[in-house]
Amino acid sequence: MDNITEVRVELSALKALGGQCFFAIVYAYLKARAVDGVARVPNKEAAEIFGVTPRYITSAITSLRQVGLISHYEYDGRHRIIHLSN
């Protein structure tokens, strides 16, 4: 699923994130990329799509982990491997 053109933001995710719209949009993007609850994203791809630095994407992922929307996160130097909570 390389060419994602539409994502849907869940209000429950937006509420869990305290109204942080960008983080909720990143979560929707990860859900669109996920296969069996696991999203494998090349390191700079998400940053390029959203026009932000990779560090800001990492900040979004940290926030998603803190509220429990992401259960596990790995980074192998090339890819971010993100396990979404159900």
Domain assignment of residue 48, given as a range = 11-84
**Average pLDDT over every residue of 34-38:** 92
Residue 1 has pLDDT above 60, yes or no: no
In a domain, 72, yes or no: yes
Structural domains counted in the chain: 1
In a domain, 59, yes or no: yes
* Phi, psi dihedrals of residue 7, rounded to the nearest 5°: -130, 155
Most confident stretch, 11-15, 18-22, 48-52: 48-52
pLDDT range class, residue 82, cuts 50, 70, 90: very high
In a domain, 54, yes or no: yes
pLDDT range class, residue 40, cuts 50, 70, 90: very high
Q: What is the pLDDT of residues 53-80, one digit of tens each?
A: 988 888 999 999 999 999 999 988 888 8
Instruction: Please list, in sequence order, all residues whose beta carbon lies within 8 angstroms of the beta carbon of residue 13, skipping any fewer than 6 positions away.
Output: 24, 27, 28, 69
Q: Tell me, what's the pLDDT at 67?
A: 93
